[in-house]
Amino acid sequence: MRTFVLLALLILAVAPVADADTTYSYTSGAFAVVSGIYTPDDRIRGYFTVADNFVPEPYVLRDFTAGVVAYSFTDGHQTLTQANSTGRFSLSLFVGVDEYAFWGVAITNPEIVSAPPFCPEACVHSFISTYQYGDRDDFGVLNSSSFGWSVAGVPSPPETRGTRGVWTVTVPEPSALVLTALGLTGLAGLAASRAWVTRAPRNSRASSRSSSAP
C-alpha cells in the first residue's frame, strides 16, 4: 500500500508540469469583400496554443516565440501552420485590454513588420490576419487578385461591413497522470479496507476464545 501512495504522490507532483498549455480558437464572420477564388461563404478559422507562463505584451506584435507552441489558421483556400509556413507569426493584444476576445493574429511575409495594410489589392504576398483595434478586421489574402476581408464593430461602408468573430479558450483538463494518481490512491484505499475486513473476523474469533477460557 505504501508503494501505491508514494507513486501517487510522485505523479501528482509531476502532473502540473506535463499539461499546462492553453488553446485559443477563432472563427470570424463571413468575408464581406471577396475577389478571385474567394466567396462570401469563406471565413477565417484557426487556433494558437500557448504555454502556461506565456504573457503577451498589449498591442505589441511579437514574433513566433517559444511561448506559442503551435498555431494553424485557414481562410478556406490556404492553411498556414508553424510546420508549413515561412511567414512570420505575430500575436498582439488590444491596448489596455487583457481579455482573450481581443487577441490579434497575423501570419505574414517576413518583410512585413507590422499589421497588413487595409487594401489587399496592394499585397503581393499571401497572408492571414485578424486583429482588433476598435474594430475587428479579418483578412485572407492569396495575392492581389484573390482575397477576402471584412471590418466589424465600427461604422464602415456597407459593402465592407462584416460580423464580429468569436474567440474561445480551451481550459486544460486534468491530465492522464492526475487520473492515474487518483486511481492508485483509490486502489490503496481499497487494499487497506480489504485488509481490515480480513483481520476483523480473526481478531473477533481470538477475542471470543479468550473470553471462554476458564
143-157 pLDDT tens trace: 888 999 888 876 666
What 8-state DSSP symbol labels residue 173?
P
Give me the pLDDT at residue 53, please.
Answer: 76
Task: Give whichever of 11-25, 115-129, 159-173, 176-190 has the largest mean pLDDT.
Answer: 159-173
Give the burial string for 94-128 (b: 16+ CB within 10 Å, else e). Answer: beeeeeebbbbbbbbeeebeebbeeebeebeebbb
| Domain layout of the chain by residue ranges | 1-19+173-192, 21-170
Give me the pLDDT at residue 206, please.
Answer: 47
Residue pair 26/47 in contact (Cβ under 8 Å)? The answer is: yes
Q: What is the pTM of this model?
A: 0.67
Give me the pLDDT at residue 158, please.
Answer: 67
